[in-house]
């Protein structure tokens, strides 16, 4: 009997101590202003031509942004500037990869000297490697600044509020590279080629977001061309569209 009472007393004291510790921990938890957003989306290249054959799930985007809300008085509207990273992946299902196809082109009348035209095309890598690539991916990473105007039905309780946002993003290309896997003598080989590939260093676009609480759907349309004029695959002006979900971290 005495042993049972001692056990019960130990359990009660332990529970009380844990509860007190948990309360202190919760009290000391810092309150971070602003919003941390994670976007998960799939990409689509528009007007990309016949050689651009991309996979659906393999062509994806992960964005990570911090935004600070500036409320317009007691209204339900706010202005939200931010900063973050955009990481895009393009998976090519035909095993093609971006290859520099720069060549010398003469003027029509033949009087002028030849000029050099820089262009990157999606071609079979057999021109570079001995065997056709089994997996080919194109990666672009941007430092971005999103700016949005947002409407919340319950600004005093964001976690339960219906919200709609409209805004824009400007981005600076940080790096870009192709990643290809192929076989050489029965061995699997991975090769990464890091360069500009004729991409525009700056980009800008518009987006919208709609959801409830910490979950929403988003769509981003890149108004600027992906590549510099005439330097992309088949010399086309390629724009991109990304749709997906957004998750509010805090």
Question: 107-148, pLDDT tens digit by residue?
Answer: 455 544 444 557 888 876 655 554 555 688 999 999 999 999
What pTM, to 2 d.p., does this model score?
0.79
Decide: 132 and 97 in contact? Cβ < 8 Å: no
When pLDDT is averaged across residues 19-32 and rounded to a whole number, the result is 49
Neighbour-count burial of 96, counting CB atoms closer than 10 A to its CB (0-12 exposed, 13-18 middle, 19+ buried): buried
CATH 3.30.310 fits 35-248, yes or no: no
What's the CA gap between 111 and 126, in Å, rounded?
Answer: 36
Q: Would the CA dihedral through 53, 64, 196, 192 be positive or negative? A: negative
With H, G, I as helix, E, B as strand and everything else as coil, classify residue 88. Answer: strand
pLDDT tens figures, 154-201: 988 888 899 999 999 999 999 999 988 877 777 788 889 999 999 999
The model's confidence at residue 24, banded by pLDDT at 50, 70 and 90, is very low
At a CB cut-off of 8 Å and minimum separation 6, what does 226 contact? 45, 199, 200, 203, 232, 238, 239, 240
The backbone torsions φ and ψ at residue 185, rounded to the nearest 5 degrees and listed phi first, read: 60, 35
* Mean pLDDT score across all residues of the chain: 82
Cα distance between residue 211 and residue 202, in whole Å: 29
């Amino acid at each position: 009997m005495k042993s049972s009472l001692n056990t019960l007393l130990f359990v009660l004291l332990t529970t009380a101590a844990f509860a007190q510790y948990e309360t202190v921990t919760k009290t000391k938890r810092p309150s971070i202003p602003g919003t941390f957003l994670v976007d998960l989306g799939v990409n689509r290249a528009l007007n990309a031509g016949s050689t651009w054959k991309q996979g659906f799930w393999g062509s994806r985007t992960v964005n990570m942004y911090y935004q600070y809300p500036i409320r317009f008085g007691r209204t339900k509207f706010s202005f939200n500037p931010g900063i973050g990273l955009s990481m895009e992946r393009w998976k090519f299902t035909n095993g093609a990869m971006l290859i520099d196809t720069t060549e010398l082109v003469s003027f029509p009348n033949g009087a002028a000297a030849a000029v050099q035209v820089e262009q990157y095309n999606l071609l079979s890598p057999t021109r570079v490697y001995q065997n056709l690539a089994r997996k080919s991916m194109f990666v672009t990473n941007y430092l971005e600044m999103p700016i949005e105007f947002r409407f919340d039905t319950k600004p005093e309780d964001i976690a339960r509020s219906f919200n709609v946002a409209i805004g824009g993003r400007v981005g600076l290309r940080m790096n870009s590279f192709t990643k290809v896997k192929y076989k050489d003598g029965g061995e699997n080989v991975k090769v990464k080629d890091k360069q500009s590939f004729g991409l525009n260093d700056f980009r800008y676009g518009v987006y919208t977001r709609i959801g409830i609480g910490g979950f929403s759907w988003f769509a981003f349309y890149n108004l600027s061309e992906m590549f510099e004029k005439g330097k992309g695959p088949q010399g086309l002006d390629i724009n991109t569209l990304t749709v997906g979900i957004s998750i509010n971290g805090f």
